[in-house]
Structure 1
Amino acid sequence: MALSNDERIAQQADEKVQSIPIQKIKPNPYQPRKTFDEAKLNDLADSIRQHGILQPIVLSESVQGYYIVVGERRYRASQLAGLTEMPAIVKALTETDMMELAIIENLQREDLNAMEEAESYQKLMDDLHITQQDVAKRLSKSRPYVANMLRLLNLPKSVADMVRTGEISGGHGRTLLAVKDAQAMKRLANRVSKEHWSVRYLESYLADNEPKKQTSQKATKQAKPRFIQKQERQLKEQYGTDVTISTRKQKGQITFDFTSEEEFKRLIRQLNRER
C-alpha cells in the first residue's frame, strides 16, 4: 500500500516523535490552502478530544520556533480542542522543501480549491524560478493541465472569488475567460451560479452568443494552414492565453493576448524563464 506524504516524511526522519508546545508552533508561511472548513475542523477537534492525535505532524525548526510542514489541519483542530502540546517529528528542511511539501500534501489530498491550486503552481514557478513543464513534472501532472489551471489567474477578482468559494467551478472560470469584458463576465458568472449551469451548457451559450467579430476571427483562423492552427493551440495551452499567428509573404507575427496588467506581467515572467 502506498505511503501518505506524512508517513513517507516520518519514515525518512532520523528524529523521534517529540512533544512540542502548541504556542511554539507556527503555520507554514507557504501553506497554499487559505480556507479551512470550520465544520470539518470542529469534527476533527472532537475526534482529537476523544482519541488524541493518532499521527504526528511534521515541523521544521527555526530561530522563531517551529513551522508546520505537514499537518496544519491537525494543528488548528488541536487548538480548538484545547491541547497545549502536540506530537511532532522535527526535520531540518529548507524553505524550498517546506513550500514543495506543503503544496504536494494538499494537492495529493485534493484539499485545495481551483484558485488555490492555480496560485500554488504560480508560486512554485515564481519562487523556484521554474517553468510550467517543471511544475508538471514535479507534481506528476500534464503540462496542459497546469497551463489550464494557471489561466484561472487571469479572472477578475470578483469572478475568481466565486471559484474560490465554490459558487462556480474552475471549469466555469476557464470558460468565462472567453468573455473579455469584466463586467459582462461577472454578470454571466452570477447567472451560471444562480441557474446552476453546467460547463457544457455555458460553452454552448457562449458559442451561440459570440459577437460577430469573434465569428469573423474564427473564419480567419479556419483559413490558416493546419500546422499554424496547431501551433496556435499549443502556444495557447503553454502560456494560458489566446495566441494568434499571422503570416504574410516572408514575414510573420505572433500575438499574445492579455486583459490586465497582472496577466501581462505573468506572460513576461514566463517568456523570460523559457528563453
Structure 2
Amino acid sequence: MATKKSGLGKGLDSLITDKVGKNTTVKEKTEEKEATDGVMLNINKVEPNRDQPRRNFDEDALLELAESIKQFGILQPLLVQKKDDYYQIVAGERRWRAAKMAGIKEVPVIIKQLSDQEIMEISLIENIQRENLNPIEEALAYKRLLNEFNLKQDEVAERVSKSRTAVTNSMRLLKLNEKVQQMVIDEMLTTGHARALLGIDDQEKQFLVAQKIFDEKLSVRDTEKLVKKLQKEKKENKDTADLKDEKLEAIYRDLEEQIKQIFGTKVYIKQKNAKEGKVEIEYYSQDELDRIVDMFRTIHR
C-alpha cells in the first residue's frame, strides 16, 4: 500500500533536514543535531546497499573523484542507516568507493532510520539527479517501486520529479530483448535507438537490427526509418499471406462441394500446412457408410 508522501521529489535536501520539535528533550535534540549535522564513521563500518538501483560505476570517474577527495575531502556527507553491526549506505555509494580508493579512514555521514520504500526512493532520486543511472537501471528502479511498494505510475513520477510519460517510456525499455538492453547499458545504443527498436516485436530480430545499428553507426533518425520499413514489409507479407489463405480457402470450399456432389453427403477438407491435410466424409447410418464404401470400391476397380 502506498505510504504517505514525504516530499521525496523535491530532492535529497528535503529528506535530511528534519526539524526538532519544541517538546524534544536535550538528549533527543543532541542526537537529532548530530544526525543532521553529520558524524565521522570508520569507513570499514559503512557498507553499500545491495538493493540500490545503480549497478555500474565508471572507474575513471571514480579515480577523478578519489583525487578530489584526497585534496579537499568529502564535501557532502553520506546518508546511512544503522544495521546490526554496520551502517548501510542509503545515498553516497560513489563517494564511499572513491574515498576507499583515496585511502580515507573515516567518512562524514548523516544517520537516519528509514523504511525500505524511502531507501529505494532516495537512492533512485540521488542517482537520477546526478544522471548516474543508465536507462535500464532507471527503468528497473521504477519497476521495483511499482511492484514492491504498490505505487502507481503517477505516484512514482511525482516522487522522482518526472512526468508520468517519462516514467512510462523508461519502463517500456524493459520489453526489449535482454541482449539489446545490455547494449544500452554498455552505451552501444542510445535510448533513442532503443525506443525505435520497440517497434519490432520479434525479439531476435530486435537484436539483429541493434547489431546493424551499432556496426553501421546508424543515427536515431536512420533507425526509425529502418524500423518503419521493416514494419511495412511485415504488413505487406501478412497481407499477401492472408490473401493467399483466402484463395486457398475458396479452392478447398469448391473441392468440398464437388466431392459432396459425388458422395451425396457432407465433406470437409482440413489443411495442416501447405502440403498436408485430411478429407472428412460424414455418414448418418450404417447403410450410408456401406454405400460410400461401395463407391470407393467401384472407383478402385
Q: Same fold (TM over 0.5)?
A: yes
- Which residue number in structure 2 is paired with residue 12 of structure 1? 18
Measured after TM superposition, the shift of residue 43 of structure 1 is 0.6
Which secondary structure does the structure 1 equivalent of 2:231 belong to?
coil
In the TM superposition, residue 64 of structure 1 has moved relative to its aligned partner by 4.0
Write the mapping of 1:183-262 to structure 2, written as runs, cut at 5 A: 183-214=204-235
Does 2:152 correspond to 1:152?
no
2:65 counterpart residue number = 44
- Who is 1:254 aligned against? none
Q: Does 1:91 align with 2:112?
A: yes
In structure 2, C-alpha distance between the alignment counterparts of 1:97 and 1:210, rounded to whole Å: 43
* Fraction of identical pairs, as percent: 38
The change in CA–CA distance for 1:59 and 1:216 in structure 2 (over 3 A counts) is same
Relative to the length of structure 1, the TM-score reads 0.72
Deviations 1:121-169 (A, max 9, x none): 1011111111222212222222222111111111111110000111001
For residues 7 and 133 of structure 1, the distance between their equivalents in structure 2, rounded to whole angstroms, comes to 22
Cross-structure match for 2:192: 171
Unaligned runs of 5+ in 1: 219-275
TM-aligned CA deviation for residue 46 of structure 1: 0.8
Counterpart for residue 72 of structure 1 = 93
Q: CA offsets, 1:12-64, max 9 Å, x none?
A: 37323211111111112332111011001001111111211122111111224
After superposition, give the CA deviation of every residue in 1:100-129 in whole Å (9 maximum; x if it has no partner). Answer: 100011111211111111111101111111
- Give 1:216 shift: 8.4
Which stretches in structure 2 are left out of the alignment for 5+ residues?
1-9, 20-31, 240-301
State the distance in 2 between where 1:137 and 1:53 align: 30
Query: What's the secondary structure of 1:151's corresponding residue?
Result: helix
CA contact (8 A) 1:167 1:193 kept: yes
One-letter amino acid of the structure 2 residue matched with residue 40 of structure 1: A
Local SS of the residue matching 2:165: helix
Deviation per residue, 1:53-84 (Å, 9 max, x gap) = 12211111122411111111100001111112
Q: Deviations over 1:200-230 (max 9, x none)?
A: 2111112223354435889xxxxxxxxxxxx
In 2, Cα distance between equivalents of 1:7 and 1:121 = 21
Root-mean-square deviation (CA, aligned residues, Å) is 2.1
2:162 maps to 141
Deviation digits for residues 164-200 of structure 1, max 9, x if unmatched? 1110012211211222222222121111112222222
Q: Greater CA radius of gyration, 1 or 2?
A: 2
Q: Is the 8 A contact 2:80 2:109 kept in 1?
A: yes
The amino acid of 2:127's aligned partner reads N
Q: Is 1:100 the counterpart of 2:106 in the alignment? A: no
- Larger deviation, residues 67-76 vs 134-143: 134-143
In structure 1, C-alpha distance between the alignment counterparts of 2:76 and 2:65, rounded to whole Å: 13
Given residue 45 of structure 1, which amino acid in structure 2 is its aligned partner?
Answer: A
Paired letter, 1:206: V
Query: Which stretch shifts more, 168-177 or 32-41?
Result: 168-177
What amino acid does structure 1 have at the position aligned with 2:78? I
TM-score when normalising by structure 2: 0.66
Shift of 1:11: 3.0
